Amino acid sequence: MPDSSDNPPLVLVLCTGNSCRSQMAEALLQKAAGDALRVESAGSKPSGYVHPLAIHAMKEINLDIGECRSKSLEEFLEQDVDTVITVCGNADQACPVFPGQVRRYHWPFDDPADAVGSEEEQLEVFRRVRDEIDRVFSAYGLGRKDAHP
């Protein structure tokens, strides 16, 4: 049996556009879980970009998602996905069944891309959503890390 550190379980974070919430969740979960998990994010209808305010909000907590790309969930259909976590209602409804999938969670968050107002007001929404995602995904990641020493 291979060492789990050589082949950590894949957690796929899904959203519709894969431009904000799922990108932030991917980075936060990977940070919390370390080598215990392989974390990826994708969208049912990928936007093709990572939102600049998501990049900015994550840089404020020393996580750089500026080189990330918006990916389609179809890229992961043939992979051995251990857990799927959806972060918005549309992705939860459109999420395909992954063969061999052990876990599935739906943890909805507001879409910061829908924020209105000045850039600073919009950034405040991104920070709030980032912090909400951080609380949930960091706790989950630390729990998975503790369960797989």
Annotated active-site residue in 28, 88, 91, 113: 88
Residue 84 near residue 103, CB atoms below 8 Å: yes
* Total residue count of the chain as it appears in this document: 149
Is residue 15 annotated as part of the catalytic site, yes or no? yes
Catalytic residue among 94, 95, 136, 142: 95
| Residue in 10, 15, 25, 54 annotated catalytic | 15
Catalytic residue list contains 68: no
Contact 72, 12 (CB under 8 A): no
20 is catalytic: no
Closest CA to 61 of 27, 37, 38, 85: 27
Measured distance CA(15)–CA(95) in Å, rounded: 9
The values of phi and psi at residue 108, to 5°, are: -75, 145
Active site residues: 15, 88, 95
